[in-house]
Structure 1
Amino acid sequence: MPEARSDPDPAPPSWSMDLRGTSTPALVEVRRWASRALARVDDAHLGDVLLVATELVTNAYDHGDGPLQVRMSHTPSSCRVRIEVDDSCPDHPVLATPSLERPGGRGMHIVAKLARTWGVREHPGGSKTVWAEVSCDGIDAVPCAAMAGS
């Protein structure tokens, strides 16, 4: 599902990390990498971004035969971070009904709650990209540090 860009910003800078052949302990490295790449993002906003990134990468480990790559981009003028995770499984994530009887089923609810929007982009050959955009325009929003310095 292509996404139409309507904002006047040029393409934001993006960062990527190859995750082929990794296991869940790599989540620590993903969080460290994202924290360094997004150093100009306010700590409160960064916490939401890291949680969404962790959930998307964890889903790729648990349901998508492992993540292939994670990418992030930051658009300071609208204070938005886009997270994308590629995996080789064609199945889309779902908002499952959480249950006390079984573990899991809460990750995409967390993503849906923290992200302004999220979706899936399918690729030829059965792979996909799951993406989410986290903004800091909520009721308790703190402006991005990048905005405060402009």
Structure 2
Amino acid sequence: MAVAYAPEIPTLVLQPTERAAVSARRFVAERFREWGDRDDYVGRVVVTELVTNAYRHGAGFIVVRVFRDERDGLAVIEVWDQGEGRPVLRSEDHESVSGRGLLMMSRLVHEWGTRPTMEGGKIVWAKCGL
């Protein structure tokens, strides 16, 4: 009987610091380059928003995973942190100086969402084209 193994998913574990998004952008750019796609702009914007939110509003280490969905070939970017709060998509507030990142990201991706983890915390994910 042949045994099939699932492929390893590239994973990056980050300290929750202001520099986390820089490392995450580099990580996403490397994955896209491995797939032969030089147009990684949306992926870098997405991971920047999700990692920055995890740093500002989450808790503990930040874990980033990037892989391709086998069903549709789209890139999936997942960001996990130990915070219990879920991201909230708000309408644009012209008076506010922040809070537009998630709205902008939602308009760039095919779909996005969040799910709790068994270990506590949450994963926020987004699918973007290659």
TM-score norm. by structure 1 comes to 0.71
- Match of residue 142 from structure 1: none
- Residue 33 (1) aligns with residue 30 (2): no
- Residue 97 (1) aligns with residue 91 (2): yes
**What SS is found at the alignment partner of 2:53?**
helix
Q: Distance in 2 between matches of 1:61 and 1:77?
A: 31
> Which of 9, 15, 30 lines up with 2:10 in the alignment?
15
Whether contact under 8 Å (2:20, 2:51) holds in the other structure is no
Matched letter for residue 15 of structure 1: P
- Match of residue 127 from structure 1: 121
User: Which sections of structure 1, spanning at least 5 residues, go unmatched?
Assistant: 1-10, 137-150
Q: Distance in 2 between matches of 1:84 and 1:128?
A: 10
Displacement after TM superposition at 1:99 (Å)? 2.6
Matched letter for residue 61 of structure 1: Y
**What SS is found at the alignment partner of 1:32?**
helix
Displacement after TM superposition at 1:101 (Å)? 3.1
Displacement after TM superposition at 1:41 (Å)? 4.4
Superposition pairs of residues 1-150 of structure 1, within 5 angstroms: 14-19=9-14, 21-39=15-33, 40-44=35-39, 46-65=40-59, 67-75=61-69, 78-124=72-118, 126-136=120-130
Whether contact under 8 Å (1:81, 1:134) holds in the other structure is yes
TM-score norm. by structure 2 comes to 0.81
Displacement after TM superposition at 1:33 (Å)? 1.9
Deviations 1:10-45 (A, max 9, x none): x776311001x331212212111221222034333x
Displacement after TM superposition at 1:106 (Å)? 0.9
Q: Distance in 2 between matches of 1:12 and 1:117?
A: 24
Between the aligned residues of both structures, percent identity stands at 34
Q: Which moved more, 1:22-31 or 1:95-104?
A: 95-104
